[in-house]
C-alpha cells in the first residue's frame, strides 16, 4: 500500500478505535457530533495557533487542541474523522460577490468560455435558435479587451437577431452591448443625450449610437428586459450555494441587492424553507439620483431581516466606473484621452451628505471605487461623516481599489475603513497589456492593486471574487495570485504585477477568513477556529504551507462544514 492509499484509507476510517462504551457515552454529556483528528489545523486565532484535533457539537466548536485530549469528546454517536495530516482552515468568506449572477447559467447567453467576436456571435446564434418565441435575449461576459477605445457595435448582433431586443453585459457588468431593436424600442437616437453618469457611445462619422451603453446609460434599455421572478432567483442562489460550498465558501457578502428586484424575497423564501446552506450578508444599492430619502428605506429593510443566514448590513454606492470604459475616476487624466479623468457618479457634496446620513443611522457603507480619484473622494466623504456624527464602529468598506494613492492608504487606517480586494485580478493579463498600459500609461499600470501596503499600514484587508465578474470564484486560486501577483502559468519575474505588493500566505488566509468575518461584524462567531465559535470550516487535500506557492491554486477543498453540518464532500470521498 502506498502513502496515498494509506491516506485515503485513514480518511474513510471514521470510527475511532478507542470508542467508549454505551454506558460511558450515556455518562458523557460532552460527546461531540464530529471529532476531526490527526489534522494540521491552522486556527487563524490571534496567535495563529496550529492544532491537531477539533470537536464539534450543536454547530459549534467545543474543542481545539492535541489529538491526545480530544478523545473525551468521543461518544457512540460521534463521527470521528481521521484526516491523515490534511489541513483544516476556517470556512472562506467572499466579502464582495454577486450570487444572483448564478441565474445566468439558466436564463442568459454566456460568453464565459469564449474570447473572440465570431465566438460571441456563434453563442448568440445558438441561444437564439434554441429559444424560439423569446421576447428578448439577455447575456453577459463580453470582454472590453476585444473592443479597445470604443465598445462593440450593434451591427454584430443585428446580423443574427433583429426582431427582438438583445442586451449583453460586459464581464465587469458596467457596460451593455445592445442591438438596433433595443435602441429603437428604448427610443435612443443620435439626438438622445447621454444621461448623467453614463455614456451612449456614438459613431464618430454618422453620429448614430453604436450599441454600447456605459454605466447609467444602460438604464435606458432596462425596461425592455423584465426582472427575474422569485423562483428563478431561488434556483440561481441554490446553484450558487452548491458551487460556493465546493470552493469552501461558507459566507458570502452580496454586494449589490436591488430593493426593486425580487432578490430579497428570494433569499427570504430560501431562508424560510431552510434551504440556505451557507450564510449571506448583503448591501443594498443606493442611487445617486434618489436622495437622502433612500436611507429610511434602507434602515427599514435592514430591520426586517435579522435571520442568522440572511441579513442586510450595508448600503452600496458606486462612485465611479471602470478603467476599460474610461469611466474610472482618476487623479490625473487618462493617457489615451488626455482631456478626461473619467466620471464621478456622485457629486462630492451629495456623497458627503449621503454618507453622513447613512452613518448617523448606523448603516455600514460599501463603496465601489476603481480610480485613485474615486477612492480619495470616498475617504473624504467617510471623514465628513465621522466629523458630523463623531467616531463609531462603522467598518465602512471600499472595494476594487485598482489605483490608490499612498497617502490614501494611510487614511484607511485612520478612518477604520476596510479594504475589500479581488486578488484574482492581480496579474499582467490581457486587461493589463491591452487596456491598462495604453489607458493609464506604464507607470500607473504598474502601480495597480496594492495589497501589502494595506497590510503594512495596519488596515483590515479582505479578499473577494466579485463573482460573477470572476469565474470560477475559487479562493485558493486567489490566495496563490495574491502571493505571486502573476498569471498561473508563468514564474517570469518580469510578469509580476507590482513586485513588493505580494501578500504572505498567512495574510491571504486571514483576508479570506477572520478579516471577512470582521467586515461582516461576525468576528466573534466565525472566521477562526476557536472554542465557542460556529463550526464553519474546510478540509483541504494539501497543507498549503508545505507546497510550492504555484501549486496552491491547484489544491482542493475536500470537505466543507457549515455550522457544524457537512455541507460539501468531494465525490471521491463519498462512501
Ligand atoms: Zn461587484
- At residue 106, the pLDDT reads 78
Angstrom distance (rounded) from CA 296 to CA 289: 15
- At residue 13, the pLDDT reads 37
Distance 518 CA to ligand 1 centre (A): 19
Domain 3-91+533-573 and domain 137-224 have a common topology: no
For residues 120-159, one letter each, b for 16 or more C-beta atoms within 10 angstroms of the residue's C-beta and e for the rest, the string is: beebbeebbeeeeeeebbbbbbbbbbebeeebbbbebbee
Distance 76 CA to ligand 1 centre (A): 47
- At residue 15, the pLDDT reads 36
Location of C-alpha cell 474543542? 63
pTM: 0.87
Location of C-alpha cell 460521534? 78
Distance 19 CA to ligand 1 centre (A): 49
Report domain extents, the chain: 3-91+533-573, 137-224
Distance 116 CA to ligand 1 centre (A): 24
Angstrom distance (rounded) from CA 270 to CA 364: 25
- At residue 69, the pLDDT reads 96
Distance 215 CA to ligand 1 centre (A): 13
Distance 368 CA to ligand 1 centre (A): 7
Q: Is the peptide bond before 472 cis (omega within 30 degrees of 0)?
A: yes
Distance 96 CA to ligand 1 centre (A): 6
Distance 280 CA to ligand 1 centre (A): 15
- At residue 197, the pLDDT reads 86
- At residue 101, the pLDDT reads 82
- At residue 5, the pLDDT reads 41
- At residue 223, the pLDDT reads 92
- At residue 27, the pLDDT reads 56
Distance 135 CA to ligand 1 centre (A): 28
Distance 100 CA to ligand 1 centre (A): 11
Please state at what angle helix 348-360 crosses helix 293-304, rounded to 10 degrees.
Answer: 40
Q: What is the tens place of the pLDDT at every residue in 177-191?
A: 999 999 999 999 999
The correct answer on CATH 2.30.40.10 for the domain covering 3-91+533-573 is: yes
Distance 307 CA to ligand 1 centre (A): 24
The correct answer on CATH 3.10.310.70 for the domain covering 137-224 is: yes
Distance 547 CA to ligand 1 centre (A): 31
Answer for the pair 483, 509: CB distance below 8 angstroms, yes or no: no
Distance 469 CA to ligand 1 centre (A): 7
- At residue 575, the pLDDT reads 63
Distance 255 CA to ligand 1 centre (A): 6
Distance 130 CA to ligand 1 centre (A): 31
Distance 147 CA to ligand 1 centre (A): 22
Distance 366 CA to ligand 1 centre (A): 10
- At residue 18, the pLDDT reads 43
Distance 466 CA to ligand 1 centre (A): 5
**pLDDT beneath 70: ranges in the chain:** 1-27, 574-575
Angstrom distance (rounded) from CA 203 to CA 211: 9
Alpha helices by DSSP H, 314-362: 348-360
Amino acid at each position: 500500500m502506498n502513502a496515498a492509499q494509506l491516506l485515503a484509507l485513514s480518511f474513510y476510517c471514521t470510527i475511532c478505535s478507542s470508542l467508549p462504551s454505551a454506558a460511558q457515552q450515556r455518562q458523557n454529556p460532552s460527546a461531540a457530533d464530529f471529532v476531526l483528528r490527526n489534522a494540521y489545523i491552522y486556527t487563524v486565532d490571534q496567535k495563529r495557533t496550529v492544532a491537531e484535533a477539533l470537536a464539534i457539537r450543536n454547530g459549534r466548536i467545543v474543542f481545539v487542541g492535541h489529538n491526545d485530549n480530544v478523545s473525551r469528546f468521543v461518544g457512540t454517536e460521534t463521527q470521528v474523522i481521521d484526516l491523515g495530516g490534511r489541513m483544516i482552515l476556517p470556512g472562506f468568506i467572499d466579502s464582495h460577490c454577486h450570487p444572483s449572477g448564478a441565474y445566468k447559467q439558466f436564463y442568459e447567453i454566456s460568453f464565459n468560455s469564449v474570447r473572440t467576436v465570431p465566438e460571441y456571435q456563434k453563442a448568440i446564434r445558438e441561444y437564439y435558435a434554441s429559444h424560439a418565441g423569446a421576447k428578448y435575449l439577455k447575456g453577459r461576459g463580453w470582454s472590453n479587451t476585444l473592443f479597445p477605445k470604443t465598445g462593440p457595435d450593434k451591427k454584430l448582433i443585428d446580423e443574427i437577431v433583429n426582431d427582438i431586443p438583445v442586451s449583453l453585459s460586459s464581464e465587469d457588468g458596467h457596460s451593455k452591448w445592445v442591438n438596433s431593436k433595443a435602441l429603437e424600442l428604448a427610443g435612443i437616437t443620435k439626438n438622445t443625450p447621454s444621461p448623467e453618469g453614463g455614456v451612449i457611445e456614438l459613431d464618430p462619422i454618422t453620429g448614430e449610437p453604436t450599441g454600447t451603453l456605459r454605466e447609467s446609460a444602460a438604464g435606458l434599455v432596462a425596461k425592455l428586459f423584465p426582472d427575474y421572478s422569485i423562483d428563478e432567483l431561488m434556483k440561481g442562489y441554490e446553484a450558487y450555494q452548491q458551487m460556493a460550498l465546493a470552493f469552501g465558501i461558507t459566507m458570502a457578502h452580496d454586494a449589490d441587492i436591488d430593493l426593486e428586484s425580487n432578490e430579497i424575497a428570494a433569499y427570504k423564501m430560501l431562508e424560510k424553507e431552510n434551504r440556505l446552506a451557507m450564510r449571506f450578508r448583503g448591501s443594498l444599492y443606493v442611487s445617486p439620483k434618489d436622495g437622502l430619502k433612500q436611507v429610511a428605506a434602507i434602515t427599514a429593510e435592514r430591520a426586517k431581516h435579522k435571520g442568522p443566514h440572511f441579513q442586510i448590513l450595508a448600503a452600496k454606492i458606486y462612485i465611479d466606473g471602470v478603467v476599460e470604459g474610461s469611466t474610472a475616476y482618476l487623479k490625473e487624466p487618462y493617457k489615451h484621452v488626455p482631456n478626461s479623468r473619467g466620471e464621478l457618479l456622485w457629486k462630492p457634496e451629495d456623497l458627503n451628505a449621503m454618507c453622513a446620513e447613512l452613518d448617523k443611522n448606523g448603516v455600514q457603507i460599501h463603496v465601489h471605487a476603481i480610480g485613485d480619484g474615486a477612492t480619495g473622494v470616498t475617504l473624504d466623504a467617510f471623514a465628513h461623516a465621522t466629523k458630523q456624527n463623531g467616531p463609531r464602529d462603522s467598518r465602512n468598506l471600499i472595494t476594487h481599489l485598482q489605483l490608490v494613492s499612498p497617502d490614501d492608504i494611510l487614511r484607511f487606517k485612520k478612518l477604520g475603513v476596510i479594504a475589500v480586494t479581488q486578488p484574482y485580478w492581480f496579474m499582467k493579463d490581457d486587461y493589463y497589456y491591452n487596456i491598462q498600459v495604453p489607458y493609464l500609461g506604464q507607470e500607473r499600470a504598474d502601480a495597480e492593486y496594492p495589497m501589502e501596503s494595506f497590510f503594512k499600514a495596519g488596515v483590515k484587508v479582505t479578499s473577494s471574487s466579485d463573482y460573477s465578474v470572476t469565474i470560477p470564484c475559487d479562493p485558493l486560486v486567489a490566495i496563490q495570485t495574491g502571493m505571486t501577483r502573476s498569471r498561473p502559468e508563468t514564474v517570469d519575474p518580469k510578469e509580476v504585477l507590482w513586485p513588493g505588493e505580494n501578500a504572505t500566505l498567512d495574510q491571504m488566509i486571514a483576508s479570506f477568513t477572520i478579516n471577512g468575518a470582521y467586515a461582516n461584524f461576525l468576528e466573534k462567531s466565525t472566521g477562526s477556529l476557536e472554542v465557542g465559535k460556529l463550526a464553519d470550516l474546510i478540509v483541504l487535500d494539501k497543507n498549503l504551507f508545505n507546497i510550492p506557492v504555484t501549486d496552491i491554486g491547484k489544491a482542493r477543498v475536500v470537505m466543507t462544514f457549515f455550522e457544524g453540518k457537512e455541507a460539501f464532500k468531494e465525490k471521491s470521498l463519498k462512501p
